């Protein structure tokens, strides 16, 4: 994924899925807190059920298209050189393996939900999703690209976010009624998508830090001080992304709580009026307020 498009495409997929996961988690919890269950994917309501599996199709088709780009287009079909894997395209092979896991996850979920060939409980689907995140974690942890300098620090922060995705997904399988766990899972996926975008704009776009430049497939900086300053900026950016996501969720929860309280007041008022009418009394002002 050593290009702007190579980071923006998976970033878009993670961002869309993450934001949708956060929204759906909050809506389901506010609608009925007692029956809340952790979901590794969320159906799209309305439209006579035609878009119910939209999230799974986005994951499966998006991962498949990105995998084809990495494996077929980026390598120019030059898979082997002198009987071994082409060393100039090791990144593309690694990314293809990671994307294959997310494609398998999407297909397995579709088979489980739409057919009777592979019925799996939600906990099993959570563990399959965790397996896909584990493949992504291993890829970036043992990446064939450099682990030093600015690019290495980007990969380090990304690995931390992926680890958070693994943790929340596995815990969701263990505690299937936990709303905080489900919400944190959506936040982790969203942050990962935002970080892919940050990487695309910074390392391969117009936001290259001062004193650093892209030479071939390497990011080089004029001095160590430039790298340290850029790393501090990265810490601030990641913290700002995390804080903005948390603030957004707090606003959602506050608004949802207010709507729930108003709904409960309206329901109680209706019950009071019905009680008074059942007793064949005049409806006093206390019943109406």
pLDDT tens per residue, range 122-144: 999 999 999 999 999 998 888 75
> Has residue 179 got a pLDDT over 70?
yes
Which residues, including other chains, have CB under 8 Å from residue 21's CB and lie 6 or more apart? 42, 182, 185, 186, 189, 190
Q: What is the residue whose two structure tokens read 């799974």?
A: 56
Which residues, including other chains, have CB under 8 Å from residue 216's CB and lie 6 or more apart? none
Report the C-alpha gap between 131 and 140 in whole angstroms: 14
> Has residue 212 got a pLDDT over 50?
yes
- Output the pLDDT for position 277: 46
Mean pLDDT of 33-57: 93
Mean pLDDT is lowest, of 53-67, 165-179, 207-221, for 207-221
pLDDT tens per residue, range 141-162: 887 565 566 777 788 889 999 9
> Has residue 268 got a pLDDT over 90?
no
pLDDT tens per residue, range 76-91: 888 888 888 888 778 8
SS3 for 272?
helix
pLDDT tens per residue, range 185-208: 999 999 999 989 988 888 888 877
Task: State the Rg of the chain over Cα.
Answer: 24
Mean pLDDT of 12-17: 94
Angle at 129 between CA 124 and CA 134, to 5 degrees: 120
Higher pLDDT pick, 286 / 215: 215
Q: What is the DSSP string of 53-66?
A: THHHHHHHHHHHHH
Mean pLDDT of all residues belonging to the chain:
80
> Has residue 31 got a pLDDT over 80?
yes
């Amino acid at each position: 994924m050593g290009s702007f498009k190579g980071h923006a495409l998976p970033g878009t997929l993670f961002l869309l899925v993450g934001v949708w996961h956060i929204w759906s988690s909050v809506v389901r919890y506010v609608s009925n807190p007692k029956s809340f269950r952790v979901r590794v994917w969320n159906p799209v309501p309305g439209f006579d059920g035609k878009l119910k599996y939209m999230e799974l199709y986005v994951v499966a088709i998006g991962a498949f298209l990105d995998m084809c780009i990495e494996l077929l287009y980026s390598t120019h079909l030059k898979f082997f050189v002198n009987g071994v894997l082409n060393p100039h395209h090791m990144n593309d092979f690694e990314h293809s393996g990671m994307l294959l896991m997310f494609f398998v996850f999407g297909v397995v979920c579709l088979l489980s939900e739409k057919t009777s060939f592979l019925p799996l409980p939600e906990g099993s689907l959570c563990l399959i999703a965790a397996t896909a995140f584990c493949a992504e974690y291993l890829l970036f942890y043992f990446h064939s690209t450099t682990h030093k300098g600015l690019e290495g620090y980007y990969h380090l922060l990304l690995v931390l976010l992926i680890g958070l995705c693994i943790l929340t997904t596995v815990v969701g399988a263990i505690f299937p009624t936990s709303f905080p766990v489900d919400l944190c899972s959506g936040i982790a996926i969203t942050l990962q998508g935002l970080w892919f975008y940050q990487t695309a704009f910074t390392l391969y776009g117009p936001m290259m830090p001062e004193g650093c430049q892209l030479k071939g497939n390497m990011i080089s900086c004029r001095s160590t001080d430039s790298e340290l300053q850029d790393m501090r900026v990265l810490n601030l950016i990641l913290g700002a992304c995390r804080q903005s996501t948390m603030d957004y969720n707090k606003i959602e929860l506050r608004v949802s709580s207010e709507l729930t309280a108003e709904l409960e007041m309206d329901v109680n008022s209706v019950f009071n009026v019905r009680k008074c009418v059942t007793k064949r009394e005049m409806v006093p002002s206390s019943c109406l307020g």
